[in-house]
Amino acid sequence: MNAADDVLTILRTRSLSGVLEREIEKAILAGEIPAGKRVNENLLATRFGTSRGPVREALRALEGLGLVELIPNRGVFIRQPELEEAIEIYDVRTVLFGHAGKLLAERATETVIARLRDYLEQMEAAARSRDFDSYYPLNLAFHEFIIDSCGNATLAAQYRGLVKKLHLFRARSLVQGGGLEVSNSEHREMVDAVAARDPERAQRAHAEHVARAKARLIAACRKAAGEAQPQPN
């Protein structure tokens, strides 16, 4: 991410359908449009004060990103992953995040490591005072920072796409609060491994952090389903 990319981003956002793409994506991820339901083009067009053309274009872009699904003559539907797909996504995320950790341990500058430690301290402070409202965004920013600092923009883009898709999983809320202290001890191990310049250890720490989130999700789903349907993996 350099200055040229920023300019490009601004320019892309200038075009009407570009703005629509972002706005509709935001609306979808915020859950404004009922998941799994059809997206009404006319409604969106009138809502944003445009014609249906740009709306359709934005929706096709979102289709390419994998957030919606197109069924001919029926319309655009918001994708809603089943548990099986959520597990798949978590598995890929695990691998990518693990690799990000490895890269970080190999390449991170001292400045980056200092910022990681800074995030860690803030999160620990928030966890101690049970301040979930400030912990959550911190946690998010921490993970974003790791992905952005690993030095592989392609990996970062792929990872972000996966996280977005995971937002569409119906039972996502089940895994939201996954224990502040538990999560933070994992964070500490991640940062320590990076600071120790140990790629293997960093990879393991980062991967296991996501893998445990996956495990929590599966456990929560099983519990919610009343142990009705045993899940593999």
Closest CA to 15 of 43, 41, 54, 64: 54
Q: Would you state the structure tokens that stand for residue 115, as one six-digit string?
A: 């910022």
- Please identify which residue in 7, 8, 10, 70 interacts with DNA, judged by CB under 7 A: 70
Burial (Cβ within 10 Å: 0-12, 13-18, ≥19) of residue 40: middle
Q: Whole-angstrom Cα distance, residue 209 to residue 194?
A: 14
Q: Which stretch binds DNA (CB under 7 A): 46-54, 95-103, 163-171, 186-194?
A: 46-54
The interface partner of residue 40, options being a second copy, DNA, none and the CB cut-off 5 to 8 Å by kind, is DNA
Closest by CA to 5, choosing from 113, 147, 154, 137, is 154
Which of DNA, a second copy, none does 229 bind, CB closer than 5 to 8 A by kind?
none
146 vs 205: CA distance, rounded Å: 13
Q: How far apart are CA 182 and CA 159, in angstroms?
A: 23
Does the footprint of DNA cover residue 56 (CB under 7 A)? yes
Binding segment for DNA (CB under 7 A), chosen from 9-17, 108-116, 170-178, 185-193, is 9-17
Name 70's bridge partners: 76
Please give the radius of gyration of the chain, using alpha carbons only, rounded to the nearest integer: 20
Question: Considering CB distances under 5 to 8 angstroms, the limit depending on partner class, which of a second copy, DNA, none binds residue 92?
Answer: a second copy
Number of residues that bind DNA (CB under 7 A): 22
Q: Going residue by residue from 132 to 151, which x/- string records binding to DNA, judged by CB under 7 A?
A: --------------------
Catalog residues that contact a second copy under the rule CB under 8 A.
Answer: 8, 11-12, 14-15, 17-18, 53, 56-58, 60-66, 69-73, 85, 88-89, 91-92, 95-96, 98-99, 152-155, 157-158, 162
Q: Tokens 């980056």, residue?
A: 112
DSSP 198: -
Task: Say which entry of DNA, a second copy, none residue 39 contacts (CB below 5 to 8 A, set by partner kind).
Answer: DNA
Residue 41 touches which member of DNA, a second copy, none, C-beta under 5-8 Å by kind: DNA
Among 52, 128, 129, 231, binds DNA (CB under 7 A): 52
User: Token pair for residue 188?
Assistant: 């500490």
The footprint of DNA (CB under 7 A) covers: 15-17, 38-43, 49-54, 56, 70, 72-76
